Amino acid sequence: MLFQGFLNLNKPSDWTSHDCVARVRKLLRLKRVGHAGTLDPAATGVLPIALGKATRLLQYLPENKAYKATIRLGVRTTTDDLEGEIINSQPCAGLSLAEVKTVLAQFEGKIEQIPPSYSAIQVDGKRLYDLARKGEIVEVPVRTVEIFHIEILDWREGDFPELDVAIACGSGTYIRAIARDLGAILKTGGTLAALIRTQSSGFDLTDSLTLSDLETKLQAGTFQPFAPDAALQHLLSVTLPATSAQKWCQGQRVSLNSDVTGMVRVYEEETRFLGVGELQDEVLIPQMVFEPIS
């Protein structure tokens, strides 16, 4: 069976995003498989995986994400999480939740963030984690990211207190960097102890499948991916009559009486998803034709 659409995978711990794609490719016997939003190996949670022609839709998925994270204070590591070597460890039993709350508020909104040294960002064509493993010191570029909301879920006192938070953020945000920078401002040190991605690219953890779930459904013949347009609901939609739909699917621009501008989902007769187009001055320009009409 040729699958076309999206798999909302609950990534297991200690698997890279690439490992997951390779496993799904093997299970589904499908060559064209890709993912949105890389997750660190230690992290778990939502990893959207595109199947078949849906890989061409990855670039149009919404970028916002949400996480549940545990931050351990009093510890600094090389990787800004517990996977790295400890740089410094200092008990901070006297730290109060009130102090943490005051500082945490500084992270909401648009902020400047320096990504972890061990990350997939490229500098001069080389991945930062490759340079870090070689002991090379490079200047990591600062980036602007947006944190929409941070909610404190739990606080556990002790020599190395832990803070559980829910974070909603934009693309490119490193939760490890938030843990590191929170500890730096508090002058205690901080590192990421656990991370679960609860939302990504329009998919939610509650609707996700583990690799084991996927195998079970495949064996039972009950696996059905999300429809290709399920991840594009953040885009407005337009419907074309049959004649215009055929022209559009052949790569031609078509006129459309609409005051909408920007990227849109394109349908024929409201039900058949054709692809993604861009509306400019009442002209619909093909961007990605998913379902050509013969």
String of b and e for 18-49 (b: at least 16 CB within 10 Å)? Answer: eebbebbbeebeeebbbbbbebbebbbbbbbb
Quote the CA–CA distance of 33 and 53 in Å, as a whole number.
Answer: 9
- Bridge partners (DSSP) listed for residue 226: 6
Q: Judge if 75 and 185 occupy the same domain.
A: yes
Task: Tell me which residue has tokens 């517990």.
Answer: 82
Quote the CA–CA distance of 46 and 204 in Å, as a whole number.
Answer: 7
Q: Judge if 163 and 116 occupy the same domain.
A: yes
Kindly state whether residue 26 falls inside one of the protein's structural domains: yes
pLDDT of residue 136: 53
Q: Which two tokens stand for residue 213?
A: 């779930």
pLDDT of residue 139: 64
Q: Judge if 74 and 194 occupy the same domain.
A: yes
Q: Judge if 120 and 166 occupy the same domain.
A: yes
What letter represents residue 112's amino acid? E
**Which backbone phi and psi does 287 adopt, to 5 degrees?**
-115, -40
Number of domains in the chain: 3
pLDDT of residue 132: 45
Q: Which residues are catalytic?
A: 40
Range of the domain at 147: 65-200
pLDDT of residue 115: 86
Q: Judge if 53 and 30 occupy the same domain.
A: yes
Q: Judge if 151 and 276 occupy the same domain.
A: no
Q: Judge if 52 and 99 occupy the same domain.
A: no
| CA angle, residues 198, 32, 10, in degrees to nearest 5 | 20
**Tens of pLDDT, residue by residue, the chain (294 residues):** 689 999 999 999 999 999 999 999 999 999 999 999 889 889 999 999 999 999 999 999 999 999 999 999 999 998 899 988 999 999 999 999 999 999 999 999 999 998 887 655 555 555 555 544 555 556 677 889 999 999 999 999 999 999 999 999 998 899 999 999 999 999 999 999 999 999 999 999 999 999 999 999 999 999 999 999 999 999 999 999 989 999 999 999 999 888 888 999 999 986 899 999 999 999 999 999 997 765
Kindly state whether residue 127 falls inside one of the protein's structural domains: yes
Quote the CA–CA distance of 175 and 42 in Å, as a whole number.
Answer: 13
Q: What is the pTM of this model?
A: 0.90
Quote the CA–CA distance of 6 and 180 in Å, as a whole number.
Answer: 34
